[in-house]
Amino acid sequence: MSTQPQPEHAAPSPEPGPSRVRFWMVCALILALALPLQLSVDAGLFPDVLNPYYLHLLTIIGMNIILVASLNLLNGYLGEFALGHAGFMAVGAYTAALLATKALPSAAALPPVLGTCVILVVTLGGAMLMAAGIGYLIGLVTFKTVGDYLAIITLGFNMIIVNAIQNLDFVGGPRGFTGIPKNTNFLAVAVCALLTLGLLRNLIQSSFGRVWVSIRENAIAAELMGVSIARAKNWAFTIAAAFAGLAGGLWAQNQQFITPRSFDYIKTTEILVMLYLGGMASLSGSILGVVAYTLLMELLRNLLSAFAPQLAEWRMLISPLILIIIMLTRQTGLLGNREWRWLRPRQGA
Amino acid sequence: MDTIIQQLFNAAQLGAVYALIALGYSMVYGIIRLINFAHGDIFMLGGFIGLLLTTRFGWMPFYLLLPLAMLLTALVGVAIERVAYRRLRNAQRMSVVITTLGVGIFLENLVRLTVGPETRQIPARLPSAPVVWLQQHLGAFVTWDKLLIILISLALMAILWLVVNRTLIGTAMRAVADNKDAVPLMGVNLNLVIAVTFAIGSALAAAGGIFYGQAYSIDPYMGIDLGWKAFIAAVIGGIGSIEGAVLGSFLLAGVEVITVAYLSSNLKNGIAFGLLILLLLVWPWGIMGKPTLKKV
């Protein structure tokens, strides 16, 4: 294996026309399924088929899609190697938790559905803004470097954020933040994930976002074309951080309990595994990677606990092995640089 | 005065462990431009191999145990390079880096599942009596094991320096670091040179792991924290440079010991990483590193 084939970069040039299935149709379908699902699980209908556990899995998948797709912006489209995504997630989670517990009234004091919506919008908006602000500041520093050093610096900031939270007593310090109201449900996560995907898809295909791919392909050529590299990179970093904050805000209000340690380097690695499993520079890959990884892990957990309970913990070895095997056999991941047709923009539009 | 000398010895001990890890990072990076994120876990594995040897073969004296653990860990290091990294040598840089991340998590979980997640201490094999001379003349309370750890580490670093600068294989290593493509054309076995580099780096890390287990304690996840610290030290010193790795390690250990002694132990990691970021911004190639040119 002396000469590896170069990954098929650049746009997939002679594309077949987009399919008849459009992005909004997929969104409508998912929402049309999610709404009755959420309602019937909440009402406790069909407890045998509609186990809340499945809904919980879907919720996790939705939040992970937001995380992975936004990291793909940096690691896939921009072509940098950022290692600090969990740090921004932590910022979002703690901001949302603070807003939900300290600043806002509880959902019970407000009208039932509308109140939760308002709380969600405020907390998630705050989480995104805070994460974006911190991401912007960190990006100013980070993008003075490239390559390996950028990876180290982003990781360093992840550690610093976690360390800072551990030293803040009013958010619980190392003991964690407890008593966050449960405002997030599967429906909210589904809406946020679809919004994220739609926004990222449009951004990446816009002239604003194509600059990122041009930087990845050849930074010097892009600079000669008049691209302000520092500004474009910082935009990407800020946007990715904002979405990581969104996922964190959803996470905090779903788990109801967060600790700084759950946002350290191990979480970042988990996001990376899903990203590389799915494929770089592909939103379809991000979706597929998250779904495949989550289902595989749950399947292994169930299989092992059913047939070999003493080996149940050994599935922790599977996830790093998957990562190694992907890298050794298929470096572009399952769907690297390719998109499902419904995620592509309309030609000539 | 006496506390300052004691803190100096604490810093030197911690710095020696950092340096033993940092050297492996630095050598591998210098030769194949790879950040081996699994190196911290090799250090952890070395500590656990040392623990296994001391508990199973209690009769074994320290001067046999240390080289044996170093040898075993070196074999693991070479095996990992052979299985996971060699095929990716000409692939995109990030693919290998991600593979090293995977190998690191694999090792952590493997040790956790086989040995258990508890924090353990390697049974003391070094004398822990205070050094009388230092106590009488400087008034500092320094134990023999601390002094021995520092001295053996320095001796290992000196041996490494001799190997790299005075032997044929060391010359080959420096040549590969200089130009990886031209060296095989000169009839040098590139795979062998890289394997030897991994072996040396892993052996040094194992020594660090055993010393750390003697001085403090070991657990399956210690490789993350200490590996990162050592890596910072290597970067501060200028990654790829042996002298830089040692210098950076003692510097970082000094800063950390001062932070813990005079500020707060909670701020230790934050200050270490802050120092890294600050230094990288004003001094991107470290104290002793060579700048690389950006080519069109």
Q: Does B102 touch chain A (CB under 8 A)?
A: yes
Nearby residues of A48 by Cβ (< 8 Å), 6 or more positions away:
none
How close is the nearest chain A Cα to the Cα of B88, in Å?
A: 7
Distance CA A19, CA A341 (A): 6
**pLDDT at A335 > cutoff 60:** yes
How close is the nearest chain A Cα to the Cα of B9, in Å?
A: 27
Confidence of residue B72 (pLDDT cuts 50, 70, 90): very high
Confidence of residue A6 (pLDDT cuts 50, 70, 90): very low
Searching chain B, which residue's CA lies closest to the CA of residue A320? B102
Residue found by looking up tokens 């040549």 in the block: B175
Searching chain B, which residue's CA lies closest to the CA of residue A219? B296
Contact present, A100 and A123 (Cβ < 8 Å): yes
* pLDDT single digits (tens) A133-161: 999 999 988 887 777 778 888 888 898 89
Give the pLDDT confidence score for residue A13 in this predicted structure.
47
Question: Taking CB atoms and an 8 Å cutoff, what residues of chain B touch A148?
Answer: 35, 93, 97
- The pLDDT > 90 percentage for chain B reads 40
Complex ipTM: 0.80
Searching chain A, which residue's CA lies closest to the CA of residue B102? A320
- Across chain A, mean pLDDT equals 85
* pLDDT single digits (tens) B148-180: 999 999 999 999 999 999 999 999 999 998 888
Distance CA B227, CA B22 (A): 8
- The pLDDT > 70 percentage for chain A reads 93
Q: Does B282 touch chain A (CB under 8 A)?
A: no
| Domains defined along chain B, listed by start | 2-282 (1.10.3470)
Nearby residues of A232 by Cβ (< 8 Å), 6 or more positions away:
A211, A212, A215
Mean pLDDT computed over A49-62: 86
Q: Following CA atoms A196, A202, A203, A206 in sequence, which dihedral angle do they give, to the nearest 10 degrees?
A: 180
Searching chain A, which residue's CA lies closest to the CA of residue B99? A324
**pLDDT at A2 > cutoff 60:** no
- Contact flag A152-B231 (C-beta cutoff 8 Å): yes
Give the pLDDT confidence score for residue B46 in this predicted structure.
95
**pLDDT at B85 > cutoff 80:** yes
Contact present, A72 and A282 (Cβ < 8 Å): yes
Candidates A164, A273, A316; nearest CB to B109: A316
Q: Which residue has the higher pLDDT, A341 or A239?
A: A239
- Contact flag A148-B274 (C-beta cutoff 8 Å): no
Q: Which residue has the higher pLDDT, B266 or A96?
A: A96
Alpha helices in B263-291 (DSSP H): 268-282
* pLDDT single digits (tens) B233-282: 888 888 888 889 999 999 999 988 888 888 877 777 788 788 878 887 77
Question: How far are the Cα atoms of A23, A86, A173, A202 from residue A338, in angstroms, in the given order?
Answer: 16, 26, 43, 16
Alpha helices in A9-84 (DSSP H): 23-43, 52-72
- The reported pTM is 0.84
Enumerate the domain spans of chain A.
50-265
Question: How far are the Cα atoms of A162, A164, B233 from residue A259, in angstroms, in the given order?
Answer: 9, 12, 28
Q: Does B224 touch chain A (CB under 8 A)?
A: yes
Residue found by looking up tokens 């340096």 in the block: B19
